[in-house]
Amino acid sequence: MLYQAKNGSLNMGESTMDYIRFGTGERVLIMLPGLGDGLRSVKGTALPMAVMYRTFAKDFTVYAFSRKNALPKGYTTRDMAGDVATAMEMLGIEKADIFGVSMGGMIAQHLAIDYPEKVGKLILTVTSSRPNPILAESIEEWVSCARRGDHTAFMDSNVRRIYSEGYYRRNKWLVPIMGKLTKPKSYERFFVQAEACLTHDAFERLHEINAPALVIGGEQDHALGGEPSREIAAQIPGAVLRMYPEWGHGLYEEAKDFNGVVMDFLR
């Protein structure tokens, strides 16, 4: 199969955790996705993810872990980091480089703090170490749309806050279609993850991270702002900061050099 792409699932007590794997490299890279995981897990995405991140497939065996499919209310980003550590043990992964995006970066912070022996290099992309007004406003807006079942409004807010203004203008016509095609049967898993973002706070412990860290942020980030990236980089000893002045929260898809920047750091 192309890039050795594989979809998998792990039994995690009373729940399951979806994951994907691709690539043939000796080193292991684990990707932790953002809040969108609350609407749809990585199940079935091994091949498109392998194509999107094919830059990593030769040097790394890449895994992407979703959150557990059944999440109890009050589950935290720290709890989710513990699940990632358990999944690594179940798959025989002793140590890996960790690449967390948005909420995935929040989970990655706790993973690096609580399980330092499992983390090689750390990439924290468009993420925050604690809540801020922009993040709270974004999540409250999305939760409000979800609670009234207006998925078209949810997607419009999502695309508007995550991507650049140019991207939004070009693709706004697709939003009603996306709203119909991507509406989940239930938002409960999303609500738990949204609350976990709002209660996430690793700021006071960031100085404990001893992994080499690359922090990537966007100055035009309308989902959580650019300041959180600068704040994280200032707190992690020796962290490298890369800010994109022209891009926002979706820079990992829009910035053409993004995968190259990450790969250069990992090498």
In-domain check, residue 29: yes
pLDDT of 5 higher than 90? yes
How much is the pLDDT for 3? 83
Task: Give residue-wise pLDDT tens across range 190-224.
Answer: 999 999 999 999 999 999 999 999 999 999 999 99
Tell me the β-bridge partners of 65.
19
Global pTM value: 0.96
Give the strand order in the sheet containing 15-22.
Answer: 6-12, 15-22, 60-68, 27-32, 96-101, 119-125, 213-218, 240-244
C-alpha 160/C-alpha 244 separation (Å) is 18
To the nearest whole percent, how much of the chain has pLDDT over 70?
100
Asked whether the predicted pLDDT for residue 146 surpasses 80, the reply is: yes
Angle between helices 133-147 and 188-199 (to 10 degrees): 160
Q: Does the pLDDT of residue 129 top 70, yes or no?
A: yes
What are the phi and psi torsion angles at 237 (to 5°)?
Answer: -55, 125
Q: Look at residue 19 and tell me if it is in a domain.
A: yes
Give the pLDDT band of residue 2 (cuts 50, 70, 90).
confident
Report the CATH number at residue 90. Answer: 3.40.50.1820
Residue with tokens 């801020």: 132
pLDDT of residue 197: 98
The whole domain housing 225 covers 2-134+188-266
Is the per-residue pLDDT at 105 higher than 70?
yes
The total number of structural domains in the chain stands at 1
DSSP character string of 152-198: HHHHHHHHHHHS-HHHHHHHGGGHHHHHHHS--S--HHHHHHHHHHH
Residue range 130-148: mean pLDDT, rounded: 97
State the pLDDT at residue 178: 87
pLDDT score of 238: 97
pLDDT band at 1 (very low <50, low <70, confident <90, very high): low
Return the pLDDT at 127.
Answer: 98
The answer to whether position 167 is within a domain reads: no
Q: What angle do CA 219, 250, 21 make, to 5 degrees?
A: 135
Mean pLDDT of 60-73: 97
Residue 173 lies in a domain: no
Q: Is residue 20 part of a domain?
A: yes
Beta partners for residue 101, in sequence order: 125
Mean pLDDT of 33-59: 94
Rounded to 5 degrees, φ, ψ at 216 are -120, 130
Mean pLDDT of the chain: 96
> For position 109, what pLDDT does the model report?
98
Confidence at 88, pLDDT banded by 50, 70, 90: very high
Residue 146 lies in a domain: no
Stretch 111-139: mean pLDDT: 98
Query: pLDDT by residue (tens digit) across 156-195?
Result: 999 999 999 999 999 999 999 988 999 999 999 999 999 9
> Cα 96 to the chain's mean position, in Å?
16
79 inside domain? yes
Is residue 150 in a domain?
no
